[in-house]
């Protein structure tokens, strides 16, 4: 086994060789890094278990374990000698960049992801192979308008958000997850499927059932009957192709891809509510978020950095790969544990603080290990749309109202932010703002 490099800090070294973890460390990674994410629910969060994880400070422990591994083994990747399918754990931001940039060698689909996602999106782009992958990716990019900061449906989307947020806040002095989440889904169904889908919970409820099965991956049988009902409920709206919605742009042509969109908008709701908690406790950032412009989107980006909604980015090696003098075999599952890189105090002066400005001045985007929306050819094609939608929701929520966080934990600007934030447990006192917008 290689001794750790002493010449350069481990996080800066990209050319060192892979190392093999001891059996004890392999067990610690499985139990202390991978298992908690799986138990909390990779595809559909389990609220009670998320609450327990917060109390037990599991994420903090996982990040600390990864740091110990990096100190002990050097920059890796760290190969976990598992019997059937080996795993490799990158411990270096340069390796994260290399893996995500090369989707041919490190396939974004792969065995584990397929077992899970095929419960509800067997033809989703994320688990597709070529040649279908390119066509499906192109369709996603066309409709979601990837890399365009302002979506062509901005006007109808903003009208929907104004409408629903003002209904949500009317005569309200408390705001908890349940009320927010109901309003969130009215917004999402109207934006994705059209106004007529606002109150039709059938597609989203059926999707939730399938996603709960997907948490169990191959250990739960696929329920084809439920999936057929879900497809039919979705198609009813896609066939209408209501103008002003994403369905209106593409109709039933995107039927295979819409399940991922609805699934991913769930994460966006969790992120928006967490960002509201940060704004409620960080007056300096809150004042800037109220002014129109990209700041609100940067608040969302930094919230995903602090509490990534995809903490495990999986890539499966399609060929043998060389890391220094060590060759890692084809079929190895590379597991990027993003909270470790996103909270790396060795590289980030703002590791445990709320730092939207770092995204606006470009310093955060320049960090190879900061990948809240992934990176490379399989980077989230919904990134720009989702930052726009969530930023607008945040701006609408905070324009005329102020919030006090009632439920724990404390999120003080002068203390390190916790590694887990249970969005389901957040409750705010709400009142109309007493002073004019800045
Ligand atoms: C806060 C919200 C979101 C976050 C943090 C997020 C993040 C991500 C990440 C990390 C990936 C890569 C996953 C992987 O490699 O395993 C991804 C992929 C993807 N996301 Fe998002 N996403 C969000 C919302 C959305 C929304 C709302 C949509 C669509 C409307 C969307 C569409 C997609 C698609 C289609 C892919 C697969 C891309 C491919 O395989 O080429 N995402 N997203």
pLDDT in tens, 158-176: 999 999 999 999 989 999 9
pLDDT digits (tens, 9 = 90+) for 351-371: 999 999 999 999 999 999 999
Range of weakest confidence among 7-11, 59-63, 228-232, 299-303: 7-11
DSSP string, 193-241: H-GGGTT--HHHHHHHHHHHHHTTGGGS---HHHHHHHHHHHHHHHHH-
Q: CB burial class (10 A; 0-12, 13-18, 19+) of residue 316? A: buried
Note the pTM of the prediction, 2 decimals. Answer: 0.92
Asked whether residue 348 carries a pLDDT value surpassing 50, the answer given is yes
pLDDT of residue 435: 60
Angle at which helices 258-281 and 177-193 cross, to 10°: 140
Could you say which architecture CATH assigns to the domain 10-432? Orthogonal Bundle (1.10)
Mutational pocket test of ligand 1: of 127, 264, 359, the residue with most ligand atoms within 8 Å of the beta carbon: 264
| 145 contact partners, CB below 8 Å, separation of at least 6 | 151, 152, 384, 385
Q: Which residues line ligand 1 (CB under 6 A)?
A: 108, 125-126, 137, 140, 144, 260-261, 264-265, 267-268, 271, 304, 309-310, 313-314, 372-374, 378, 380-382, 385-386
Do the beta carbons of residue 413 and residue 282 sit within 8 Å? yes
Do the beta carbons of residue 164 and residue 397 sit within 8 Å? no
Q: Which ligand 1 atom sits nearest the alpha carbon of residue 310? A: 10
For residues 104-119, average pLDDT: 90
Mutational pocket test of ligand 1: of 102, 134, 380, 381, the residue with most ligand atoms within 8 Å of the beta carbon: 380
Asked whether residue 149 carries a pLDDT value surpassing 90, the answer given is no
Q: Which ligand 1 atom sits nearest the alpha carbon of residue 374? A: 10
- Indicate the average pLDDT of the chain: 90
Q: Which ligand 1 atom sits nearest the alpha carbon of residue 108? A: 15
pLDDT of residue 341: 97
Q: Which ligand 1 atom sits nearest the alpha carbon of residue 314? A: 16
Q: What is the Å distance from ligand 1's center to 435 Cα? A: 38
């Amino acid at each position: 086994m290689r001794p750790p490099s002493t010449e350069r800090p481990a996080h800066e070294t990209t050319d060192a060789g892979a190392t093999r973890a001891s059996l004890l460390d392999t067990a610690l990674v499985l139990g202390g890094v991978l298992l908690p994410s799986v138990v909390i629910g990779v595809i559909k969060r389990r609220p009670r278990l998320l609450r327990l994880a917060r109390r037990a400070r599991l994420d903090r422990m996982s990040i600390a374990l990864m740091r110990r591994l990096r100190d002990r083994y050097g920059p890796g990747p760290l190969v976990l000698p598992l019997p059937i399918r080996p795993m490799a754990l990158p411990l270096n931001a340069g390796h994260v960049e290399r893996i995500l940039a090369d989707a041919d060698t490190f396939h974004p689909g792969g065995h584990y992801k397929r077992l899970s996602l095929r419960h509800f999106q067997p033809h989703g782009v994320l688990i597709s192979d070529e040649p279908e992958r390119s066509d499906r990716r192109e369709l996603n990019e066309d409709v979601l308008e990837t890399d365009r900061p302002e979506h062509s449906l901005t006007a109808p989307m903003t009208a929907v958000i104004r409408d629903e947020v003002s209904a949500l806040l009317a005569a309200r002095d408390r705001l908890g997850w349940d009320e927010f989440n109901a309003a969130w889904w009215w917004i999402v169904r109207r934006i994705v499927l059209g106004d007529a889908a606002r109150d039709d919970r059938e597609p989203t409820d059926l999707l939730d059932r399938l996603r709960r099965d997907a948490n169990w991956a191959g250990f739960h049988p696929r329920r084809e009957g439920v999936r057929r009902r879900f497809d039919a409920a979705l198609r009813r709206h896609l066939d209408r192709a209501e103008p002003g919605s994403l369905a209106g742009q593409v109709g039933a042509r995107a039927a295979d891809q819409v399940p991922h969109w609805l699934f991913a908008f769930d994460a966006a709701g969790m992120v928006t509510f967490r960002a509201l908690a940060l704004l409620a406790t960080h007056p300096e950032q809150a004042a800037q978020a109220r002014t129109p412009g990209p700041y609100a989107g940067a608040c969302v980006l930094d919230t995903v950095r602090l509490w990534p909604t995809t903490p495990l980015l999986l890539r499966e090696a399609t060929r043998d790969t060389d890391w220094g003098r060590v060759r890692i075999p084809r079929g190895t599952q590379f597991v990027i544990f993003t909270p470790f890189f996103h909270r790396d105090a060795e590289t980030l002066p703002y590791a445990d603080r709320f730092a939207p400005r770092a995204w606006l001045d470009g310093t955060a985007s320049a960090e190879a290990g900061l990948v809240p929306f992934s990176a490379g050819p399989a980077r989230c094609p919904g990134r720009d749309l989702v930052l726009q939608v969530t930023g607008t929701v945040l701006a609408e929520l905070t324009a005329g109202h102020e919030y006090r966080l009632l439920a724990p934990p404390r999120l003080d600007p002068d203390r390190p932010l916790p590694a887990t934030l249970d969005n389901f447990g957040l409750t705010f006192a709400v009142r109309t703002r007493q002073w004019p917008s800045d």
